[in-house]
Structure 1
């Protein structure tokens, strides 16, 4: 035992040491505080050591070293939340968030789970992805801008969180008011001008950035390979791998030229199956050689164009990993996507609240997805369970720390990269120059597949539609009148419109002109002497159609898919 004198000396030395530590600490900046939370501070609010490294990858690597397991787990999660505001939500939205993660607001969700991102969602009955869109938190640019600002404020820190949405245009368009609406991918494919495509997606990126979004889950890189377009349909640029590749690459350059990260989906290709991965696990029986030649070509083109994300699809690809969804397949995501195609960016799952991913509990699915090679987990059905599953995986060894660190580093590298992009300009939202670009794309898409090219219709004209298309009918009638065509309620030459989901029973046997506003496959069954396609139902698409029907514009588009019994164009 030490003597009293020696104990006094030890005490004096300890006091001096404590003083020296305190003095030394005075020269260091304090860590940036996170927003109030009942859990540890947000990962994005860690000490400012990443500033020692100038490049995004170096900053990300430095920051990751400072993070706890809890903070790391949150970096790889990108759920959705209920509510049109980050902090002020309705009782119903609060109830939805309680079910998702035992919080009331999106801001609380970000803070509690140290989230790396949040996806903004929007339910629409005529949207093929509506089955997993449980709510809507996109309304108009003002609301969206306030929401995204609130989400970033809740996160704090140096690296902005990822805020994304599915703005593909066409049938999958989350933000529909107050912005420039491009035509569908298939319409753009019909126009066949990658330079114009790039310009269009630059417009889209500028407007997303202006509203505070930094990720678009687009473009669709699927090559159509079924007789009727399958479940992907007009979301694809077409059926020719080279043409689709060119359009995908142009879309990537446009979006990312605006500082918005582009996402290639649905790897390794969803275009050759009629099954919907929202409800089933589609099986793709193609040979690997066929996949390489067709389905993988647009992904390679998008990667070469610099795409920052690739979305893994819930697809059973027999030639890669039979019986295992590609979204949970190490062979697909590591051996093929990273090894063969050379992708170095962020791999994000397709939504984990889709049926093929829900065969496992949320926590187990999260671990499986990360182990397969995904870096970002999109829309888990329960964010709390997914988060806890990752922590449990670390503790039991089913998830290795190195894999979680690798994923979080990739995600943070992307976030630091996006942080350096120029701030968005609200004056660009639906600006005339932007609207002109969109109208040009729509005009270039109009295709005549039967009849004498460009011959004007002799009025008067009566517009008819399949069920539920009153808005399209009214828009075309207005556009026809503006083009000088007489429109009457009945008794005129019939122009009949069909669109998304329509079949042979929706055609009008008495129509003089039948127009397809989505995929053109049903047009092969039409009896009309004149058949045209716009591939889209935007007001611009219908204005362009009216110009063609009035004989004021030639239909210069070419169908990007084969329609039995019809040529790609008669012009």
Structure 2
């Protein structure tokens, strides 16, 4: 490859609008490895699939016989570009559902079902699962994106999800190395500093990454986190020591991709060109989302020309990316064949994950928790509508507040975290369960149609609440069931 071609092969960029031709032009303009889809790039299933087809056609026309990467952030919960809000795609609950269920088969099946819908839409790379270990209320950034505060439980969820994505023919990416769940600064805004010792990191934050690497994770996303025990003041994404730990201590041989290079932890200090070169010098293979893609590309070419960036290092990075994409083509060929008609087919897997996660921490277990008529308070209007639809479908009669009812149900969320009721149904972080005095309390870990269906089945006594709290909540048991 020419310097311009090899420089592009280590870049994964955003693109404007919803026109497939414009996306293809963005790919070829700087010989990019691929593109990343965001919400503003979505108009319909057919349009997203057409964009994927346009990218692969442009890739072939350039003479490359491996797929272009077409990537997306689709974890479930709040981080889900392709869910029910965007069209007919299936929404999934937060990844903490996998920690609460602690059932590798259910978690793997959910990830595979998500992967099949993504691949049916023309995508081949998902920035999931989240391998962070949350510390609970002090975790201001990750929260329910993490599976658990228990490293081993988080590791089980991460390895199961990684296997599911592979079975569905989609590249996965465990993130955010070396772990963002114990930090109190959001790397979108500034530079988080990890003050734990190397031994403490190895015993907590690194455990899910190590297990995922051992299980064959194809990519690891490097977080913009300064680890004092490794490289003080330097974000891991541009720290040679962080890449050394990943490669040598954990034994990772796949593609190391950076977190978004447009995030404040980096852009407050360096330009797009400087960030791109620093990351490659440190050991990154794939650079995600520079603010200024032409400048990042030109910076790499210039660094190759003046010798500040060795051609062998960039060839190593590009070679890994090409090998990754050839591998994706192989696993997709072995996976279930899909078309756009398969978008929306993952609802049963989403329901199974939520049903396995529902956790009861107070009240009598093993019976109906609500009478035939209920009041419903709390939550947003969308929460209320979704819950009521599921409750009524399950045979419950939701009556106006001025009418008598058998059971008062309150939806608890981050915005409405407290209140009295007969039954409290928590949709957000499980530590909010202490904000109510309700005698019966349930944690749901999401607000999808399937999550509401699962909790309605528990309320009527048609299904158990098999989950356990994946984080410790002071004063509450992991489950009463």
Give the TM-score, by structure 1 length.
0.79
Question: Which of 2, 7, 11 is the equivalent residue of 1:77?
Answer: 11
Q: Does residue 1:166 correspond to 2:77, yes or no?
A: no
CA deviations 1:432-452 (Å, max 9, x no partner) are: xx3222211111111111222
> How do residues 405-416 of structure 1 correspond to structure 2 at under 5 angstroms?
405-416=315-326
Equivalent positions of 1:486-497 (< 5 A) are 486-491=397-402, 492=405, 493-497=407-411
Q: How does 1:34-433 map to 2 (within 5 A)?
A: 67-87=1-21, 105-122=22-39, 136-156=40-60, 157-176=64-83, 177-333=87-243, 335-358=244-267, 359-420=269-330, 421-422=332-333, 424-426=337-339, 427-431=341-345
Q: CA deviation at 1:348?
A: 0.5
Q: Which runs of 5+ in 1 are unaligned?
A: 1-66, 88-104, 123-135
**Deviation, structure 1 residue 507:** 3.2
Residues paired across the two proteins, number: 466
- Give 1:281 shift: 0.9
CA distance in 2, matches of 1:363, 1:235: 31
Gaps of 5+ in 2: none
Q: 2:354–2:444: 8 Å Cα contact kept in structure 1?
A: yes
Residue aligned with 1:393, SS: helix
Give the SS at the match of 1:332. helix
Which residue of 346, 363, 370 corresponds with 1:457?
Answer: 370
Q: Distance in 1 between matches of 2:19 and 2:55?
A: 9
**How far apart, in 2, do the equivalents of 1:230 and 1:418 lie?**
34
Distance 1:247 1:272 in 2: 18
Q: How does 1:550-569 map to 2 (within 5 A)?
A: 550-569=460-479
Relative contact order, higher structure (CA 8 A, sep 6+) = 2
1:508 Cα shift? Answer: 4.2
Q: Could you state the TM-score of these two structures normalised by the residue count of structure 2?
A: 0.94
Shift of 1:478: 1.6
Per the TM alignment, residue 483 of structure 1 is displaced from its structure 2 partner at its CA by: 1.8
Output one character per residue of 1:516-560: Cα deviation in whole Å (capped at 9) or x when no partner. Answer: 112111111212222111011011111111111112222111110
Q: Highest Rg: 1 or 2?
A: 1
- Separation (CA, whole Å) in 1 of partners of 2:356 and 2:136: 25
Query: Is 2:391 the partner of 1:474?
Result: no
Contact kept, 8 Å, 2:24 with 2:51, in 1: the verdict is no
Contact 1:226 1:274 in 2 (8 A): no
| Contact 1:446–1:532, Cα closer than 8 Å, also in 2 | yes
Confirm or deny: 8 A CA contact 1:496 1:507 kept in the other structure. no
Is the contact made by 1:454 and 1:548 (CA closer than 8 Å) also made in structure 2? no
Q: CA deviation at 1:330?
A: 0.4
How much does 1:405 deviate? 0.8
Distance 2:115 2:174 in 1: 15
Contact persistence 1:229–1:519 (CA under 8 A): no
Q: CA deviation at 1:565?
A: 1.8
Q: CA RMSD in A?
A: 1.5
- Which residue is 1:26 aligned to? none
C-alpha spacing 1:522/1:228, structure 2 compared with 1 (3 Å)? farther
CA distance in 1, matches of 2:37, 2:377: 35
Provide the C-alpha distance between the structure 2 equivalents of 1:231 and 1:517, rounded to a whole number of angstroms. Answer: 17
Structure 2 distance, partners of 1:351, 1:158, is 27
Which deviates more from structure 2 when the two are superposed, residues 411-420 or residues 262-271? 411-420
